[in-house]
Amino acid sequence: MEIVFASTLEPDPQAWTAALRAALPEARVRLWGDGEPEGRADFAVVWAPPADLFAREPRLRALLNLGAGVDALLRLQGLPDDLPLVRLEDGGMAVQMAEYTLYHLLRESRDFGRYERQQAEGLWQPLDDIDRSAWTVGVLGAGAMGARVAQACAALEYPTAVWSRSGRSVPGAESYGGQAGLAAFLARTRVLVNALPLTDATRGILCRRTFDQLRPDALLINIARGGHLVESDLLAALDSGRLRAAALDVFEQEPLPPGHPFWADARIRITPHVAGASLMDRTVRQIADKIRALDRGDAVTGVVDRTLQY
């Protein structure tokens, strides 16, 4: 069995290759572009793979992605129609995304930002006690990431709901499904957290129409993909007061270009796509288990349905 690790973005591909070798001692694991003979790989572990991967590795039996989102993979030129794509399921990302969400939720709901400003002014002034019923959380997406985020918020007694295409239930949260349930979900939501996969159906979902249906003085947290957000609509919603603030970890163009209006907007908090990183040890264990199962001919979870785009 031969495995190739191929990435155009990973800063330390040798570390991943070494970890895969340790986890799969029975396999030959090599790094893309290392000068070794090509064309014999059975499996490819990828993150933003090179465009000529499929031409140079025509024997691939499956492609395993280092992330949960596969929108970029589905746009690759030359991707064989029958090649199974297997996405990462969590890999340590879900708890990090829950932490990210809770940080911004607590900062707003507990007025910690105002306390920071009061400290700068030397002002000792307790603010009003929290009213959790006023901070209804709505999570778009009920997969591994969205479910963990929703459960973390519900555990702190914030009224929490999830919305998904299928209406999947999440313990501790109200569940809404399909287009018929979206309006009711948005109407009860003040803190909107986006954890959806990026598909043709979800691109641009964070737009004026969505913002206008939220409860007043709303907060947006986007931990999914930049393509979900209509940037001009966000700025308009902030200017009108429909939204109070936004926490953005992902952007249509990354890195966010110098001079972009988001940089100088105090109502927008920016992080550089770090809300949930794939932790190497957990990710490699998961990938190794799936490669062994695939090599035996067994079914695995996380196989992408190309009609749904996730």
Catalytic residues: 225, 273
What crossing angle do the helices spanning 13-23 and 280-296 adopt, rounded to 10°? 50
Asked if residue 162 lies in contact with residue 101, where contact means CB atoms within 8 angstroms, the answer is no
Asked if residue 134 lies in contact with residue 158, where contact means CB atoms within 8 angstroms, the answer is no
Nearest of 50, 42, 71 to residue 197 by alpha carbon: 71
Angle value at C-alpha 70, between 102 and 79, nearest 5 degrees? 170
Asked if residue 61 lies in contact with residue 181, where contact means CB atoms within 8 angstroms, the answer is no
Distances (CA, A) of 37 to 16, 21, 24, 128, 180: 20, 17, 20, 67, 54
Asked if residue 304 lies in contact with residue 86, where contact means CB atoms within 8 angstroms, the answer is yes
Rg of the chain, C-alpha, whole Å:
21
Asked if residue 145 lies in contact with residue 68, where contact means CB atoms within 8 angstroms, the answer is yes
